[in-house]
Amino acid sequence: MTIKDLQPKVVWDNFYGLTRVPRPSKHEEKVIEYLLEWGKNHGIQAEKDAAGNVIMRAPATPGMEKRRGVILQGHMDMVPQKTGDSKHDFLTDPITTLVEGDWLTADRTTLGADNGIGVALALSVLEDKGVKHGPVEVLVTRDEETGMTGANGLKPGVLKGDILINLDSEDEGELCVGCAGGLDAEADFRYRTVASPEGFVGYTLTVKGLQGGHSGMDISLYRANANKVVARILLPLMEKHGVKLVSFTGGSLRNAIPFEACAEILVSETATRTVKKVVDEVFGQIKAEFAESDPSAQMNFARKAAAPRYIGDKVALAVVKALLACPSGVIRMSRTMEGLTETSINMAIVRTEKGHITVHSLMRSAVDSAKAALADRVRCIFEAAGATVAFKGGYSGWTPKLDTPMNKVMMEQFKKVYGRDMKIMATHGGLECAIMGAKYPNWEMVSVGPTIRYPHSPDERLDIPSVARTWDYLKAVLEAVPEK
């Protein structure tokens, strides 16, 4: 069985179409063109705004003209993650999908169900003439994953509806009515290089095979952070055995828990056996600690040609100490919603380039003051280590409103379709609702979606039966939207 055999066909055909179009964040040109052409081919009014968002509009079906206007919203970009042995090029290659029982996954890459399946559901509402609905607008935003650029660039007054149904949730049966705010931190260490001494040989220390995952949804699973693991191994090597740091590279995306990291080092020829023993011991301890959450963790310590220069010892040691001192993971769980992370940080990316080592972290919190306090903590740690620290991309959370007319509709229709009660919740992930709701304060906002597991990682998978149920539920909701 392949994706083309799945039902409902209209939804899976639209999702398949999106998998054929390269659409990594910051490179949405092809998918924008695809969406505009899709609208033209289906007789749907479609336009691109100044921020690169695509907006489509369809009139009410006969007899539904007096219903309140609904905006169906998702984002067009996807997280480009792949395994180390994958040759996939996210700028040119389509996603290869695989049906594995009740799950749809991809061949060693992210699937793009986050948020391609949400966009596919919205397009299907416009395409399927059997769906009854009032006035509908579809908003497909650009660059959600790396900065929420489309949401930030959306102009007030462009959209006419007053109910927003965001289709970027990842747990079927949950009605999301709130989300965390976010803030990016970048610490920058400047360094000078030193000529490599005689009698030193080169090695690479690579940690891989970690599960990684979404830095909001999966942060509470307490998976290992590859940057922290490598730093933890390096510290005793540098402090006790004179190891020199040439470079440190780890992670690739601000909102993905890093599952691979690599350090290039220089080791004295007389200490290689001892250093190898320490590397094995420390990694063995770490692997035992994370045996449940990261059972496939791997470490490779391999000889290579010695680099001609290395990073000065003082700065290199300060970097490693700061990487260990700075938190990464859950800071506090919610006291009001069971199982919800309130505040967290993901030390996402470390890069060494042209005299700079940069460390990128993404902080999230449902409480603005807690986010600010965490930012101060991060700043103090890195500044004490000699780095300069800058913050950007901050946004507040989406405050839950439980007793709204649309919430009631969502709950009632879920009970009719599923025969059970829907769970109301908030997410620790960042949703564009927080940003767009500030521009359209009259909106009632909710977020739903089929079940997705391990987004932002090559293990991403989409629950096939949940897509059909979500489609039936969305159709029922649109038919039940109240009048103006």
Q: What is the per-residue pLDDT across 223-238, written as a single tens digit (0 to 9) for each?
A: 999 999 999 999 999 9
Tens digit of pLDDT for each residue in 357-372?
999 999 999 888 999 9
**Rounded-to-integer distance, Cα 24 and Cα 456, Å:** 11
The conformational region for residue 199 under phi > 0 = left, psi -120 to 50 = alpha, else beta, is left
Residue 430: what pLDDT? Answer: 81
Q: pLDDT band for 147, please (50, 70, 90 cuts).
A: confident
What pLDDT is recorded for position 162? 96
Which residue is it, tokens 């391999």?
Answer: 302
Instruction: Classify 202 as helix, strand or coil.
Output: strand
Question: What pLDDT score does 217 carry?
Answer: 87
Q: What is the C-alpha separation between 190 and 358, in angstroms, rounded?
A: 9
pLDDT tens digits, 428-437: 988 899 999 9
Q: Which of 397, 382, 291, 379 is nearest to 343 (CA)?
A: 397
- Comparing 149-163, 198-212, 290-304, 330-344, the range with the smallest average pLDDT is 330-344
In this prediction, residue 275 carries a pLDDT of: 98
Sorted by sequence, the CB contacts under 8 Å of residue 287 that are 6+ apart come out as 294, 297, 299
Residues 6+ apart with CB under 8 A from 86: 107, 108, 109, 458
Share of the chain above pLDDT 70, in %: 100
Distance CA 272, CA 203 (A): 10
How high is the pLDDT of residue 335? 83
Domain 3-180+397-479, what fold? Aminopeptidase (3.40.630)
Asked if residue 336 has pLDDT above 80, the reply is no
Question: Which residues have a catalytic role annotated?
Answer: 77, 144
Q: What percent of the chain has pLDDT over 90?
A: 91
Question: For residues 280 and 398, what is the distance between their CA atoms, to the nearest angstrom?
Answer: 45
- Average pLDDT on 36-56 reads 98
Average pLDDT, the chain: 96
Provide the CATH topology of domain 183-395. Alpha-Beta Plaits (3.30.70)
Question: Does residue 266 contact residue 244 with C-beta atoms inside 8 Å?
Answer: yes
pLDDT class for 337, splitting at 50, 70, 90? confident
What is the per-residue pLDDT across 169-202, written as a single tens digit (0 to 9) for each? Answer: 999 999 999 899 999 999 999 999 999 999 999 9
Q: Are strands 356-365 and 181-190 parallel, antiparallel or unpaired?
A: antiparallel
Cα 231 from Cα 243, distance rounded (Å): 13
The domain spans of the chain are: 3-180+397-479, 183-395
CA 112-145-331 angle, to 5 degrees, is 115
Q: Please check whether residue 454 is in contact with residue 114, taking contact to mean a CB–CB distance below 8 angstroms.
A: no
